[in-house]
Amino acid sequence: MSGVFAGKVALLLFFTVRGAVLTKVIKFYNSEMKKVLFSKQVKKAIDGETADIQRKLGVLLRALVQGEILEMPESRSMVGYPGLKELRVRDVRGQVRVFYCLPTADYVFVLHLFRKNTQKTPLNEIRTALQRLKVMKEDLDG
């Protein structure tokens, strides 16, 4: 099998859950997959979530990495904030939202996670995601 994938270097990042710990497993598959970059804060937030949320996010992030276009109910664009999108998952404790964007054809930026307690997305959560997006873009541009 390694011969089939020889020379292809893009990363597929997916998640496995061992207890409550999120473990990143990196596999080399095909060169058309996107790279996932996490803000420092969102990594901690994901680690603090339930195994169910971690699993569901892993499935959705894997789909994004493989180039799938996610739509409702799993994902939606944030109206009024071009490029900003949210992953939508739930568990027994309620709804979780994860802001992300696709700044280039090669990357998925995972920006911010929060537990949603109201019908409308709080503006401070959107602002947090936009701040992190700015920093991550600057870091990527070098």
pLDDT-derived band at 128 (thresholds 50, 70, 90) equals very high
pLDDT at residue 23, as a whole number? 35
Residue 2 belongs to some domain of the structure: no
52: pLDDT strictly greater than 50: yes
Token pair recorded at residue 23: 């473990």
Note the pLDDT tens digit of each residue in 67-110.
Answer: 899 999 999 999 999 999 999 999 999 999 999 999 888 999 99
Q: Detail the DSSP E strand segments found in 64-123.
A: 75-77, 85-91, 94-101, 107-116
Note the pLDDT tens digit of each residue in 14-43.
Answer: 343 333 333 333 333 444 789 999 998 999
Q: pTM for the full model?
A: 0.76
CATH of the domain at 123: 3.30.2310.20
What is the residue range of 132's domain?
11-141
Token pair recorded at residue 97: 């939202």
Indicate the helix (H) or strand (E) that contains 59. Answer: helix 51-65
Number of domains in the chain: 1
Residue 133 belongs to some domain of the structure: yes
Residue 128 belongs to some domain of the structure: yes
Residue 30 belongs to some domain of the structure: yes
Residue 85 belongs to some domain of the structure: yes
Using a 10 angstrom Cβ sphere, with 0-12 exposed, 13-18 middle and 19 or more buried, the burial of residue 124 is: exposed
